[in-house]
């Protein structure tokens, strides 16, 4: 099968690009011919909340990546769409995560479908976005109505599709394992690589910092007097995608500075292993969510997790087996963290992670995408 994946990929950076590149390899492992089409311009600079959209790491040499789609230039939409219409791939997979991308991706999809051969499907990370803006729904509808089928990575997003009355074939399949950040390493080696004192335990908050990810809730929880008495530090590893001032105010208010390890820049792929392997547990205190790639990095590195009971997070984290599922409140998070350390549950939960992570296969995702294509 000739497959094209349209979405972020190198030289763009971040979780979407990492996922799409890993998915391309999974199709190739299944015997398909695959290439990626990525953005020459993903977001105008004034819309991008981080420091840079582009990777500073070497690009993958094993993938065919075309940089050609400009999200705000209709000329490029027609160029890419008409070329793929003529080339007649068997399957085109769009990665849809934001209504802003609806016009570009929806137009490309409609042009491709005119050849009456190519099947067009989407991996829909979100249908109703975390941070809502005027116009979200019509932009989303414009794209979704151009697709033959969908795969979602949370049941919540699948329900959103049905709530919006889209009846094309759709399947839920959990986010596959992120197994492309290197091999598991001993905690002592990871601590040494980060120059962290092994006399302390470490919790990890990882990923771009945005309001819906709940770092403020975690900081309030970490201020709990019971945790303050433990030899414990919180690693904050990820770039601010919004104003840092409210978080800094919480840190000062609760006198947390000496109990934090700050790594608030973009974490390059080759350093991800150290942050995860240094941690006793990965904490995702989200206020709302659909699915999370952070959980699948934690699974790969066999790290216990604490997640809040929002969106699709609890679908992947059996409470009491691989970690905790708790309400998104400081008290609930603090109580779980205290339980984790007082009852020394790291070994127990790590064994649970090893057993659970066998379920998250890239082959399953590849088969689902082909199935909904019809």
Which tokens is 331 given?
Answer: 């008290």
> Would you call the peptide bond into 72 cis, given omega within 30 degrees of 0 as the criterion?
no
At residue 65, does pLDDT exceed 90?
Answer: yes
Q: What is the dihedral of CA 286, 287, 293, 294, to 10 degrees?
A: -10
* One domain for residues 7 and 54: yes
The reply to whether 245 and 278 lie within a common domain is: yes
pTM for the model: 0.79
Task: Decide which of 126, 145, 172 is a domain's last residue.
Answer: 172
Domain of 311, CATH number, reads 3.40.50.2000
Q: Confirm if 363 and 30 have CB atoms less than 8 A apart.
A: yes
Domain membership of residue 367 (yes or no) is no
Does a structural domain hold residue 115?
yes
The residue among 138, 172, 206 that closes a domain is 172
Residues 205 and 149 in one domain: no
Does residue 196 share a domain with residue 318? yes
Alpha carbon separation from 276 to 111, 238, 279 (Å, rounded): 43, 12, 5
**CA distance readout (Å), 222 to 50, 68, 193, 229, 256:** 26, 45, 25, 11, 8
Same domain, yes or no, for 233 and 330? yes
Give Dmax over CA atoms of the chain in angstroms. 66
Beta bridge partners of 172: 152
Residues 132 and 40 in one domain: yes
**Is the pLDDT higher at 108 or at 156?**
108
pLDDT band at 130 (very low <50, low <70, confident <90, very high): low
Judged against a pLDDT cut of 90, whether residue 69 lies above it is answered with: yes
Residue 369 lies in a domain: no
Mean pLDDT of 82-101: 96
Q: Which domain holds residue 321?
A: 187-359
How many domains is the chain built from?
2
Classify 341 in phi/psi space as left (phi over 0), alpha (psi -120 to 50) or beta.
Answer: alpha
Please choose, from the candidates 289, 288, 290, the residue with its C-alpha nearest in 3D space to the C-alpha of residue 157.
Answer: 290
Domain boundary (113, 142, 172) is at 172
Domain for residue 159, yes or no? yes
Contacts of 134 (CB under 8 A, 6+ apart): none
Kindly report, residue by residue over 211-239, the tens digit of the pLDDT.
989 999 999 999 999 999 999 999 999 99
Sequential DSSP letters for 46-91: GG--SS-SB--SPPPSSS-EEEEEETT-HHHHHHHHHHHHHH--SE
Burial group, residue 204, by CB count within 10 angstroms (0-12, 13-18, 19+): buried
pLDDT digits (tens, 9 = 90+) for 332-371: 999 999 999 999 999 999 999 999 998 899 999 999 999 9
Q: Identify whether residues 165 and 314 lie together within a single domain.
A: no
| Span of 49-53, 185-189, 250-254, 279-283 with lowest mean pLDDT | 49-53
Mean pLDDT, rounded, for 18-45: 94
Residue 179 included in any domain: no
Domain co-membership, 152 together with 215: no
Q: Please, what is the average pLDDT of the chain? A: 93
Same domain, 253 and 156: no
Q: What is the pLDDT of residues 145-154, one digit of tens each?
A: 999 999 999 8
Does 213 fall in a domain?
yes
Residue 347 lies in a domain: yes
Kindly state whether residues 6 and 85 are assigned to the same domain.
yes
Based on the domain organization, do 139 and 206 belong to the same domain?
no
Same domain, 222 and 151: no
The per-residue pLDDT for 52 is: 63
Which CATH number fits the domain that encloses residue 149? 3.40.50.11930
């Amino acid at each position: 099968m000739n497959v094209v994946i349209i979405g972020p990929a190198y030289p763009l950076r971040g979780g979407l690009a990492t996922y799409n590149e890993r998915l391309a390899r999974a199709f190739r492992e299944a015997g398909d011919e695959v290439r990626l089409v990525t953005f020459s311009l993903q977001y105008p600079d004034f819309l991008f909340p981080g420091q840079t959209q582009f990777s500073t790491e070497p690009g993958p040499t094993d993938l065919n990546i075309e940089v050609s789609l400009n999200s705000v230039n209709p000329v490029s939409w027609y160029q890419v769409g008409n070329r793929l219409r003529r080339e007649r791939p068997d399957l085109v997979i769009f990665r849809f995560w934001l209504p802003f991308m609806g016009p570009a991706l929806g137009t490309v999809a409609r042009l491709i479908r005119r050849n009456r051969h190519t099947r067009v499907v989407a991996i829909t990370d979100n249908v109703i976005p975390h941070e809502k803006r005027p116009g979200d729904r019509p932009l989303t509808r414009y794209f979704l109505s151009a697709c033959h089928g969908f795969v979602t990575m949370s049941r919540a997003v699948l329900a959103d599709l049905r709530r919006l009355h889209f009846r094309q074939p759709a399947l839920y399949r959990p986010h596959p394992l992120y197994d492309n950040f290197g091999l598991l390493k001993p905690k002592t080696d990871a601590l040494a690589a980060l120059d962290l004192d092994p006399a302390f335990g470490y919790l990890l908050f990882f990923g771009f910092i945005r309001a819906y990810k709940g770092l403020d809730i975690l900081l309030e929880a970490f201020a709990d007097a019971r945790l303050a008495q433990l030899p414990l530090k919180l690693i904050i590893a990820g770039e601010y995608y919004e104003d840092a001032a409210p978080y800094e105010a919480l840190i000062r208010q609760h006198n947390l500075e000496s109990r934090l390890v700050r790594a608030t820049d973009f974490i390059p792929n080759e350093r991800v292993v150290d942050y995860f392997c240094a941690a006793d547990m990965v904490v995702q205190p989200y206020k709302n969510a659909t699915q999370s790639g952070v959980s699948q990095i934690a699974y790969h590195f066999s790290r216990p997790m604490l997640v809040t009971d929002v969106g699709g997070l609890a679908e992947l984290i059996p409470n009491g087996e691989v970690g905790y599922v708790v309400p998104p409140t400081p008290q609930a998070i603090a109580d779980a963290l205290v339980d984790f350390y007082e009852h020394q549950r790291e070994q127990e939960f790590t064994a649970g992670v090893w057993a659970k992570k066998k379920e998250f296969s890239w082959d399953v995702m590849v088969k689902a995408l082909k199935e909904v294509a019809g």
